[in-house]
């Protein structure tokens, strides 16, 4: 497993089923991990290497909250609903960077129950979500990074539209042509 990115929770907004998550533990990070490689390879009987894209990848999304915050209670209620009914109903998750262009969108997150400890000191709860059908853009916070910003916006739009089953073939062609013109300087 390779870590895709680490993001300071004070620098973004996390939203689960339309509700903002609050109470992040100071000094912790959000971790987004892709659980399988983008491409895999295998050798044929004749010794040639075949490379194929793994089209159905999934991610693990982790964040840590202080034990006493109310976000733990309603997130745990969502987990208990999934567990009690035995139905992994989709829970949308969206986070975005406040200062840059990084985004993560998952229309179907499935919660893992955190380890819980109780004591006289303030403790934490580390939440782990399994996310399928993800749109993830690693951006930057540089103001002059126009090409990355345009490509990030296009990628996010394509992935979110695709996650909801919207055919965007013509939009994709127009976007690629626009970016190509921007890069080459032609009109």
Over residues 153-173, the pLDDT tens digits come to: 777 777 677 666 666 666 656
Q: How many CB atoms lie within 10 A of CB 105?
A: 20
pLDDT category of residue 141 using cuts at 50, 70 and 90: low
Q: Which residues contact 175 (CB under 8 A, 6 or more apart)?
A: 154, 158
- The whole-model pTM stands at 0.62
pLDDT in the model for residue 1: 46
In which band, very low, low, confident or very high, does the pLDDT at 133 lie, cut at 50, 70 and 90?
confident
Q: What is the DSSP string of 164-179?
A: TT---HHHHHHHHHHH
Query: What proportion of the chain, given as a percentage, has pLDDT over 90?
Result: 1
**Helix 169-184 with 146-163: angle, nearest 10 deg:** 170
Residue 121 has pLDDT above 70, yes or no: yes
66 forms bridges with which residues in the sheet? 124
pLDDT band at 149 (very low <50, low <70, confident <90, very high): low
């Amino acid at each position: 497993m390779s870590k895709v990115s680490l993001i300071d929770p004070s620098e973004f907004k996390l939203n689960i089923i339309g509700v903002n998550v609050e109470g992040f533990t100071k000094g912790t990070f959000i971790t987004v991990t892709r659980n399988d490689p983008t491409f895999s390879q295998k050798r044929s009987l004749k010794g040639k290497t075949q490379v194929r894209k793994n089209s159905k990848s999934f991610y693990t999304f982790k964040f840590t909250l202080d034990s006493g915050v109310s976000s733990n209670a309603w997130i745990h209620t969502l987990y208990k609903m999934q567990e009690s009914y035995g139905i992994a109903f989709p829970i949308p998750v969206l986070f975005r960077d406040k200062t840059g262009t990084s985004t993560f969108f998952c229309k179907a997150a499935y919660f893992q129950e955190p380890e819980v400890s109780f004591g006289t000191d303030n403790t934490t709860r580390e939440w782990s979500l399994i996310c399928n059908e993800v749109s993830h853009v690693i951006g930057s916070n540089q103001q002059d990074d126009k090409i990355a910003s345009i490509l990030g916006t296009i990628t996010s739009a394509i992935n979110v539209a695709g996650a909801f089953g919207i055919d965007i073939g013509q939009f994709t062609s127009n976007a690629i042509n626009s970016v190509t013109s921007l890069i080459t300087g032609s009109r």
